[in-house]
Amino acid sequence: MFKFKYIKLIIPLILMIFLQTCNQNRQKILLRQQDKTVLGLKHIKLRGKLRVSTDYNSTNYFIYKGRAMGFQYEMLKELAEHLDVRLELNVENDLQTAFSTLEAGDIDLIGMNLAVTKDRRDRFNFTLAHSQSKQVLIQRKSSQKNSIPIIRNQLELGEKSIHVQQASAYVERLENLSKEIGRGIAIEKVERIEVEELISKVSKGEINYTIADQNVAMVNKNYYPNIDTQTEISFPQDMAWALRKGSDELTEAVNEWLVGFKKTARYNQIYRKYFLSSRIEKRHNSEYFTLKSGKISKYDDLIKKNSKLIDWDWRLLSALVSQESHFDPNAKSWVGAFGLMQLMPETAFRYDVDEDSKPEDNLKAGAKHLKYLSRRLDKVLGDKTDKMKFLLASYNVGLGHILDARRLAKKNGQNPDLWQGSVDYYLLNKSKPEFYKDPVVKYGYCRGKEPYNYVKSILLIYDHYQNTVPLDETSSLE
């Protein structure tokens, strides 16, 4: 009888705990869903980053001489700085996938040249126009090799086969045009291929026609002189960015910024740089226009070789070299650091190199020093999750200052193995007397802002290289 009463008391308690757990789990799921679907401006500021999808091509986002560039990239970077958040780029050249990713809440904004159509407005929020452009037909000029006559009248598009991106505004325009002229147009919808690649196929004779925005077409005319871009198939259209339905607060904030920014000299400078500059052709034909060559710098092979010494992704080592010397073997800093890896004279002496050493020797010495620092850190880090950040900071400012920052973190009840919000804070403030005069500090004053920014800069450059350059080597990070 006693056992039965005991069980009767326990069962409601178990049920209550079970229901509370279910409610907590349901609340967590709802919060996650809310984070993906509502996401107002305050959520993004709290998160500290704006997640954007853009396309990798010769106008919107690309790498040139080791540096990230592009019309959309520079505009989006200006927006993120205005919002005081970090820009997180996701490269997606397939429009249908980009739209799906936006609807799923995995990104906040699609930063591309998106024509604003009625169907799209029904599905998404759109910003004010960041630019305007017409749609034009891309075809090959008549020549001995190409006997297909040039199309100048839209009526002549009937029965023609035109290749365009699936989910692009070009599909909708061609469908409407087909009805307008009363003749069918064979619309070949292609997946996972970028507009500029289709333009290249027209130039090579692999396909006869595609459609592009006029400003993009004019840029590509510099690259493919045998293409014709004069036949317009639409009126001027607004080009804008897309956001999820319901993200009205963020849309309003972006619009407010766009109105002001488009009136600035900076906006005109960015637009001219990517659509009107006389340097466009030179940039495209450069050996270090990564989109076409796959190269970051002339030292790619040496960097790949030395990255194996430290078991790094070669693109990470390239990011470090880019930050240190911008791939200039003759670079020399005001404190005396020199070469591709910007070795200090005392460090260089340890590895038997000097200012007259070859670039490959400078690279090898820098890799050896990274390996040395890595082994030292292995002995002090209990949790190696943030080891790369500790290693990069140590390479920049010296291991001693990093160990000091760890001691300060530990003394103040923080995790000495955690970089962000712990050790980086004490390193950043190690130029202040109340920090560098603390009894646990052994290496004194440090201009902590430099290594603090150094780590962020290299990891940002590495993100760009990961977005745009294939790994093509078997390698792993420490």
Enzyme catalytic residues: 324
d(CA 130, CA 257): 11
Contact 86, 80 (CB under 8 A): yes
SS3 for the chain is CHHHHHHHHHHHHHHHHHHHHHHHHHHHHHHHHHHHHCCCHHHHHHHCEEEEEECCECCCEEEECCEEECHHHHHHHHHHHHHCCEEEEEECCCHHHHHHHHHHCCCCEEEEEEECCHHHHHHEEECCCCEEECEEEEEECCCCCCCCCCCCCHHHHCCCEEEEECCCHHHHHHHHHHHHHCCCCEEEEECCCCHHHHHHHHHHCCCCCEEEEHHHHHHHHHHCCCEECCCECCCCEEEEEEEECCCHHHHHHHHHHHHHHCCCHHHHHHHHHHHCCCCHHHHHHCCCEHHHHCCCCCCHHHHHHHHCCCCCCHHHHHHHHHHHHCCCCCCECCCCCECCCCECHHHHHHCCCCCCCCHHHHHHHHHHHHHHHHHHHHHHCCCCCCHHHHHHHHHHHCHHHHHHHHHHHHHCCCCCCCHHHHHHHHHHCCCCHHHHCCCCCCCCCCCCHHHHHHHHHHHHHHHHHHHHCCCCCCCCCC
